[in-house]
Each structure stands twice: as C-alpha cells, then as structure tokens.
Amino acid sequence: MVTEKTRSEIHALEYSICELMSALDSMCYRKIEGWELNRMGLDVTITDGPIDAERWVNIRPVGWPVPSEIFCRFYKSGDLGWTAFEGAVHALHIGFTLDFRASLDHQRRMVVTSQQ
C-alpha cells in the first residue's frame, strides 16, 4: 500500500532530478557543441541504493539515443530532502562525457562541478 509519506518522498526526488537537469543544462548549454535538452521530457529509472536513504537514477532526455544517458546518486538528507551527490553524463551521440559532483549552495540551489 502506498502512503502519503511515500508519495511525497517520490515527488521530492523527482523535483531534485529536475533541479539537477537544470544545473547540468546551465553548465553545458552553448558550451558543449550538440548539447540539447529539447524540453520533451525525461525517461527516468530509479533504483534503490544499498541503504534506505540512497537512490540511483538513470536519466535519458527524450530524443537522446541509446546508450547516451545521465546517471546520478541521490541521498536523502534530513530536512533537505533528496539531494544529488555524484554522477556522470554519457552523451555519446555528441562525443561528450563528464563526471560530476552536485551540492547545494548557501541559497539551497543545486550546483554541479566537473570532476575532470
């Protein structure tokens, strides 16, 4: 049975996924040739991590061919909800890969930094 708490947690994770995508788009748009998120949606697969407060998320923007995808680990951190931690972009269709770390700035906005 799905409870209200479960529904709000799923919703919070989806919101964090959208924040991550916005941060990645800000980092890559017009800087990486061929980078495009066409605003058509995201195909998202969420897998439980090894601990209860961890989720592994695979994201494929609609229009990106297989095997291009974005992977990120999210952690649930108390009153902050779900937060992206680390991940990778494999945009093989444009020859671009990026390992990244994500965090929240002092205004609780998602910030993505390259690990390369």
Domains contained in the chain, number: 1
Give me the residue label for tokens 């390992």: 99
Say what the pLDDT of residue 116 is: 64
Distance CA 90, CA 100 (A): 11
Say what the pLDDT of residue 10 is: 60
| 15: containing domain | 4-114
CA distances from 43 to 59, 61, 106 (A): 6, 6, 30
Tokens of 106: 């002092």
Say what the pLDDT of residue 104 is: 80
Question: Per-residue confidence of the chain (116 residues) as pLDDT tens digits?
Answer: 555 555 555 678 898 999 999 999 999 988 999 898 877 889 999 998 888 889 999 999 999 999 999 999 999 987 778 889 999 999 999 999 999 998 888 777 788 888 76
Q: Which strand ranges, in their side-by-side order, compose the sheet holding 110-114?
A: 42-48, 54-61, 69-76, 82-91, 96-104, 110-114
Say what the pLDDT of residue 32 is: 92
Tokens of 19: 């924040």
Q: Decide: 87 and 100 in contact? Cβ < 8 Å.
A: yes
